[in-house]
């Protein structure tokens, strides 16, 4: 598997460098200095509650609050071969509090994330030449108390000769490491963590994904995109602080297979209706080898109140057939090879609806010239198992 | 069987749509180039895509992250 991945990466790097020497075209003037293209600040407040926390074996509060902030800076530059280089530098910080995580060890504050901060920087680069070929690469990092993740990706995209279609291929990997923090009653001398810095044992989780997409302009009002990913995960795929209660009332740590293959297929369709309405549709079929199957469909209608202000109501529906390894509180038996009471993996229907407002005034938001765009969006989410969530997000764009 | 049926349907729809494509010149792309017509996620959807991938078993094929990070709570 490792050899295969290295071979794919080497082949991709070979293509990248072979195509990097496109002939120079100096017929048109382009500013070749590095320019600040835009800065995006995205902030969100998310709150959920329900009665099926995985930490407490499928019963108990799922109360959780997450405050998320990120800043993304986009820089660009044309080189002497007239190729456009774009760099994205992003820094994100999430702070969350979770009532259920406090139940890992209710007597202390050393639980994995009763309150925790996640810090996630990333950098990516893309280069597009005049033939419509794009190459890109990126790296990312994510850190929280009990979880670290390092990611890398490579991108190749090619537009058709008439610029009506574009094929893209993206290869990604995440190499994760998690601390094995067990529920207090399941800790032994061997797995309890010790010392001033709580040196817990760790486990790895690896994710490899290959994604292809094809976007196509159908006519002056309609465009489509087909997407397919193949995602393979291996390693410790459960979480050590998820309890499972068997029918004999014994308590265990969630146990799931050490590999997972996910195949999602998606299609996007955007249609400009008349002069003021844009319909943005999306459908995804998903299946994995844990026997989760899902159908997701969403529609966002963007209504242009004026050329500079849009109202965007949306609705998303998801139907999920749960994994065969899921059972509710005290429903598993000792005969089960794998077991979880995590309702995220169970069967349910979910609805997500809300609306956003987007403003791009010609002289800047609130008359501030470089304050290019403001978008505010609210959504309410509910699952048929009782989970309810609300989210409000704000995107400020400066350019 | 069901999956291959769905794939065949998808291939059929793709074939019909591809056949009905008309060439659009650059100067005819004013609607297609509108910010609302972008075939991708809006930046404001970033946290929504994260929580959906944490709270649901399905992920991927939507331009969002398909792995990495915990999302355990």
Q: What CATH number has the domain bearing residue A264?
A: 2.40.160.40
pLDDT value for B62: 83
How far is A310 from A312, CA to CA, in rounded Å?
6
Q: What is the predicted pLDDT for the residue at A122?
A: 96
Whether residue A4 is contained in a domain is answered as: no
The pLDDT of residue A12: 44
pLDDT band at A18 (very low <50, low <70, confident <90, very high): very low
For B9-53, give the DSSP string: HHHHHHHHHHHT-----GGG-TTTTSGGG-SS--GGGHHHHHHHH
Residue A15 pLDDT greater than 60, yes or no = no
pLDDT tens-digit map of B11-51:
776 666 666 778 888 898 999 999 899 999 999 999 999 99
Q: What is the pLDDT of residue B26?
A: 87
Tell me whether residues A296 and B63 touch, CB distance under 8 A.
no
Question: Does residue A219 lie in a domain region?
Answer: yes
Residue A237, pLDDT score: 93
Tens of pLDDT, residue by residue over A213-246, are: 999 999 999 999 999 999 999 999 999 989 999 9
- CB within 8 A of A314, min separation 6: which ones? A298, A299, A300, A301, A352, A353, A354, A355, A356, A379
* Tokens at A43, concatenated: 């902030």
Output A126 or A31, whichever has higher pLDDT. Answer: A126
Per the domain annotation, does A285 fall within a domain? yes
- The tens digit of pLDDT for each residue in A244-296 reads 999 999 999 999 999 999 999 999 999 999 999 999 999 999 999 999 999 99
Indicate the helix (H) or strand (E) that contains B5.
Answer: helix B2-19
- What is the chain A residue with the closest CA to B40? A268
The SS3 assignment for A379 reads: strand
pLDDT value at position A197?
A: 52
- pTM value is 0.87
Picking from A387, A390, A330, A379, the residue whose alpha carbon sits closest to that of residue A353 is: A379
The answer as to whether A27 is a domain residue is no
The upper half-sphere exposure of residue A240, i.e. CA atoms within 13 Å in the direction of its Cβ, equals 28
Whether residue A349 is predicted with pLDDT greater than 60 in this model: the reply is yes
CB A48 within 8 A of CB A55: no
Q: How many domains does chain A have?
A: 1
HEC secondary structure over A254-314? CECCCEEEEEEEEEEEEEEECCCEEEEEEEEEEEECCCCEEEEEEEEEEEEEECCEEEEEE
Residue A29 lies in a domain: no
Residue B19 contacts A, CB cutoff 8 Å: no
pLDDT at A67: 95
- Where is pLDDT greater, at A108 or A130? A130
Residue A13: which pLDDT band, with cuts at 50, 70 and 90?
Answer: very low
Give the distance, in angstroms, between the CA of residue A131 and the centroid of all CA atoms in the same chain: 31
- The Cα of A98 is separated from the nearest Cα of chain B by a number of Å equal to 7
**Structural domain boundaries enclosing A142:** 34-398
Residue A4 has pLDDT above 70, yes or no: no
- pLDDT digit string, tens, across residues A62-75: 999 999 999 999 99
Task: Note the pLDDT of residue B20.
Answer: 74
What are the beta bridge partners of residue A76?
A35, A86
Q: What is the mean pLDDT of residues A365-382?
A: 96
Cβ-Cβ contacts under 8 Å for A245 (sequence gap 6 or more): A57, A58, A251, A252, A329, A330, A332, A341
Is pLDDT at A61 greater than 80 in this prediction?
yes
Confidence of residue A193 (pLDDT cuts 50, 70, 90): low
Instruction: Residue A54: name the closest of A320, A193, A240 by CA.
Output: A240
Question: Per-residue pLDDT for A141 more than 70?
Answer: yes
Each residue's pLDDT tens digit, A302-334: 999 998 999 999 999 999 999 999 999 999 999
Q: Average pLDDT, stretch A24-47?
A: 81
Residues A165-191 have pLDDT tens digits of 999 999 999 999 998 888 888 887 666
Give yes or no for residue A29 having a pLDDT over 90: no
Mean pLDDT of all residues in A350-370:
96
Using alpha carbons only, what angle is made at residue A114 by residues B49 and A123, rounded to the nearest 5 degrees? 40
| Any domain includes A187 | yes
Q: State the pLDDT at residue A185.
A: 83
Q: Inter-chain contact B21–A323, Cβ cutoff 8 Å?
A: no
Average pLDDT of chain A to the nearest whole number: 89
Beta-carbon separation of B45 and A377 below 8 A? yes
Closest-CA residue of B relative to A239 is: B72
Asked if A381 and B46 come within 8 Å (Cβ–Cβ), the reply is no
**What percentage of residues in chain A have a pLDDT greater than 90?**
78
Q: Which residue of A has its CA nearest to B65?
A: A172
Taking alpha carbons only, the member of A376, A324, A389, A323 closest to residue A350 is A389
Q: What is the mean pLDDT of residues A384-393?
A: 97
Using a CB-CB cut-off of 8 Å, the residues of chain B touching A216 are 17-18, 21
Structural domain contains residue A350: yes
A16 within some domain = no
Q: Give residue B73's pLDDT.
A: 46
């Amino acid at each position: 598997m490792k050899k295969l991945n290295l071979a794919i990466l080497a082949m991709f790097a070979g293509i990248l460098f072979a195509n990097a020497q496109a002939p120079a075209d100096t017929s048109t003037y382009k500013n070749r200095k590095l320019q600040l293209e835009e800065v995006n600040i995205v902030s969100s407040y998310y709150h959920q509650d329900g009665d099926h926390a995985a930490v407490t074996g499928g019963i108990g509060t799922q109360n959780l609050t997450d405050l998320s902030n990120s800043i993304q800076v986009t820089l660009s530059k044309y080189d002497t071969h007239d190729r456009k280089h774009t760099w994205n530098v992003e820094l994100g910080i999430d702070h969350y509090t979770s009532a259920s995580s406090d139940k890992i060890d209710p007597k202390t504050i050393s639980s994995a994330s009763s309150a925790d901060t996640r810090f996630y920087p990333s950098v990516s680069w893309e280069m597009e030449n005049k033939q419509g070929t794009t190459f890109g690469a990126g790296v990312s990092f994510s850190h929280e108390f009990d979880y670290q993740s390092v990611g890398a990706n490579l991108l190749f995209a090619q537009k058709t000769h008439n610029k009506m279609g574009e094929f893209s291929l993206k290869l990604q990997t995440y190499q994760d490491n998690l601390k094995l923090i067990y529920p207090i009653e399941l800790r032994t001398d061997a797995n309890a963590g010790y010392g001033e810095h709580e040196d817990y044992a760790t486990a790895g989780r690896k994710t490899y994904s290959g994604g292809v997409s094809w976007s196509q302009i159908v006519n002056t009002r309609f465009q489509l995109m087909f997407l397919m990913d193949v995602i393979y995960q291996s390693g410790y795929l459960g979480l050590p602080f998820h309890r499972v209660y068997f029918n004999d009332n014994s308590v265990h740590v969630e146990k799931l297979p050490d590999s997972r293959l996910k195949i999602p297929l998606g299609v996007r369709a955007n249609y400009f209706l008349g002069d003021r309405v844009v319909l943005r549709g999306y459908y995804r079929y998903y299946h994995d080898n844990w026997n989760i199957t899902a159908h997701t469909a969403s529609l966002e209608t963007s209504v242009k109140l004026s050329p500079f202000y849009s109202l965007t109501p949306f609705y998303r529906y998801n139907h999920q057939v749960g994994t065969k390894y899921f059972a509710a509180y005290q429903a598993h038996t000792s005969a089960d090879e794998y077991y979880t009471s995590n309702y995220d993996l169970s069967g349910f229907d979910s609805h997500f609806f809300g609306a956003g407002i987007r403003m791009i005034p010609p002289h800047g938001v609130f008359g501030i010239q470089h304050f290019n765009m403001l978008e505010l969006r609210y959504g309410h989410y509910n699952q048929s198992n009782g989970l309810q969530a609300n989210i409000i997000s704000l995107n400020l764009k400066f350019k | 069987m069901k999956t291959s049926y769905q794939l065949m349907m998808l291939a059929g729809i793709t074939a019909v749509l591809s056949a009905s494509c008309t060439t659009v010149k650059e100067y005819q792309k004013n609607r297609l180039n509108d910010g609302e017509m972008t075939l991708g996620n809006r930046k404001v959807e970033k946290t929504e895509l994260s929580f959906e991938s944490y709270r649901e078993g399905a992920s991927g094929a939507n331009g969002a992250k398909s792995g990495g990070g915990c999302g355990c709570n």
